[in-house]
A = this chain, B = another copy of it.
Amino acid sequence: MSLTETDRMIIEPRIAELVRERAGVPALSGEDGAMAADGARVMDEVVAQAVASSEGGKRLRALLTLAAFDSLDGDAVLRQAMVDLACGIEVFQTAALVHDDIIDDSDLRRGKPSAHRALEQAVGSRSIGNGLGLMLGDILATASVDIVHQAVRDLPSGGDLVAAFLEMHREVEVGQVLDLAVETSPLDDPEKLAQASLNVFRWKTASYTTIAPLRFAMLAVGMPADQAREHAMAIGLPLGLAFQLADDLLDVIGVSAATGKPIGGDIREGKRTVLLADALAAAGDAQRDELLAIFTSSQRNQTQVDRVIALFDETGAIERSRERIAALWAQSRQAIGRLALHDEAEDRLLAACRDFIPESLR
């Protein structure tokens, strides 16, 4: 079994355990812990949903955390703390996704009903389901900090790790704000649109997907905070951008099984992506008018989705995304090289990073 597989088998049950411990009622002794029956029943639904929403992730972030820790010769004594820290990132992701799905009013997540929809079904009320979903996101966000705070409490770098974890929370929250802001941007300046989209990727995705896992591992092995931030950014920022660009590209070039989403879903939703920006920038007048007409309309049918994919191809936007991804991956690899790890360690870290980008796009 590979190290990755072993780690995955440790992480998965540990996430469920940590969430279950922290999603419910705090353990209180005596009468002040008592809870009225109807309340306890609804609380049980929320805890069950917390566990259900936590299932099914690819755990790339947790695996990167552990691979980076091992590559940097992290002390075996600290590894359990690192496992919990890694799980804390995954729990934070679930919290963010639960709120994301409320904001986008998404019905599905990872092929199952989204948390607020599932809770709506459990209690039989849309408004109460939405409210419980919002609280579930809050509960999971609090749990993620609590997991990390407890995991690193006795480490020398514990204080820095908690501070870095909170900074990560904030960056993703800022990223979500920027993502909402992009939807208010006009489409008349493709270069600005591309920059705004890459900005969202940096804050909303790269922050917690690649930069933070690397930074946490570096802090945990005792790297000075400035260096940790610098290396984590140098490796993680291009890697995280490439990860999100690849995700958007797969939505269009159709390896649907890899993302679990229907092909062209982003286009159907009218999402403003780097692909769209690149297509607009390279388009002839007729192509541009066609793209603008399709993207400014209130909805898009399958014929229009197919036409947009063809235009993304004709304008060279798809090829441009491939080039962007390859260049970013090369940047990330170079930055890994600058860590000057011994071969085996470098291989382990490279392997964990490679998993963020499909082989055909590296």
**Chain A residues in the interface with B (C-beta under 8 A):** 22, 24-26, 32, 34-39, 41-43, 46, 99, 102-103, 105, 123-125, 127-128, 130-132, 134-135, 137-139, 141-143, 145-146, 149-150, 153, 159, 162-163, 166-167, 169-171, 173-174, 176-178, 180-185, 192, 195-196, 199-200, 202, 233, 237
Contact = CB atoms under 8 A, between A and B. Distances in A.
B103 A173 contact: no
A237 to B, nearest CB: 6
Contact of A170 (B35, B39, B139): B139
19 contacts: A22-B170, A32-B237, A36-B192, A38-B192, A39-B196, A41-B181, A42-B181, A43-B181, A99-B134, A99-B138, A103-B135, A138-B138, A139-B174, A141-B141, A141-B142, A142-B166, A143-B170, A145-B166, A146-B163
Nearest to A27: B167
Nearest to A23: B170
B180 A26 contact: no
A341 to B, nearest CB: 23
Contacts of A34: 199
Contacts of A39: 177-178, 181-182, 196, 199-200
A302 B162 CA distance: 52
Q: 10 nearest interchain CB pairs?
A: A42-B181, A36-B196, A103-B131, A39-B178, A142-B169, A39-B181, A146-B166, A38-B185, A139-B173, A36-B199
Given A26-B170, A32-B237, A192 B142 contact: no
Contacts of A173: 135, 138-139, 142
A108 to B, nearest CB: 19
Contacts of A233: 32
Contacts of A196: 36, 38-39
A177 B134 contact: no
A159 to B, nearest CB: 5
